[in-house]
Amino acid sequence: MAMNITVDTLLDRVKDIAPILRAHAAEAEAQRRLARPVIDAMLQVAEAEATLGAGRAYLYATFQENWDAALQGAALTLERKLKMQLATFHAIVCATTAVDLAHAAAGTSSIRNEFKFQQYFRDVHTITQHAFVSASRYESTGALMLGEESDWGFFAF
């Protein structure tokens, strides 16, 4: 018994599976929506690690460079002081960004008292208000880099 199937017949049969494909697509979309927060958290944790590492590396490299220079008898020049100020402030910015990313990944549970993270969150945001590492230090440093006067007395030492 030969089947006589035409292209039109095949297209009709393919159209018959359209509701099944739509159901699969809807299920896949629902699973994707459920997985999205987990994927976002993975991205945020990875970005936090990279950000923290970058800030730490710049800080350590800058202070190691100045320490080595001091051991060789080099003076702590204004240029060296500016670089140390930038590295310090940048490390704080990176740490704050990393904590904010971790906070976003963990959600509101991260601010509950029973979790230690809430203390880290407060601590890192508190230190950003300290005069030595506040955002105004970028301005102070930038002013000197551009040949202007600075309001920050640290550079006079």
Instruction: Give the residue-averaged pLDDT of 75-99.
Output: 93
Write the pLDDT tens digit of every residue in 108-124. 878 888 888 888 889 99
Q: Is position 33 within any domain?
A: no
Q: Domain with 135 in it: what CATH number?
A: 1.20.140.10
Percent of the chain with pLDDT over 70: 81
The single-letter DSSP state of residue 89 is: H
**Would you tell me how many other CB atoms lie within 10 Å of the CB of residue 51?**
19
Q: Which of 117, 61, 130, 123 is nearest to 96 (CA)?
A: 123
Residues 6+ apart with CB under 8 A from 99: 48, 120, 121, 124, 125
Q: Determine the pLDDT at residue 85.
A: 92
Q: Determine the pLDDT at residue 43.
A: 87
Q: Is position 131 within any domain?
A: yes
Structural contact between residues 114 and 50, judged by C-beta atoms closer than 8 angstroms: no
Write the pLDDT tens digit of every residue in 22-64. 776 777 677 776 667 777 888 888 999 999 999 999 999 999 9
Structural contact between residues 49 and 105, judged by C-beta atoms closer than 8 angstroms: no
- Domain residues for the domain of 127 are 47-156
Q: Is position 152 within any domain?
A: yes
Q: Is position 15 within any domain?
A: no
Both tokens assigned to 18: 């359209």
Write the pLDDT tens digit of every residue in 58-82. 999 999 999 999 999 999 999 999 9
Q: Is the pLDDT of residue 126 over 80?
A: yes
The runs of H, that is alpha helices, within 4-156 are 7-16, 18-71, 78-106, 117-127, 136-145
Q: Is position 58 within any domain?
A: yes
The model carries a pTM of 0.73
Residues 6+ apart with CB under 8 A from 49: 98
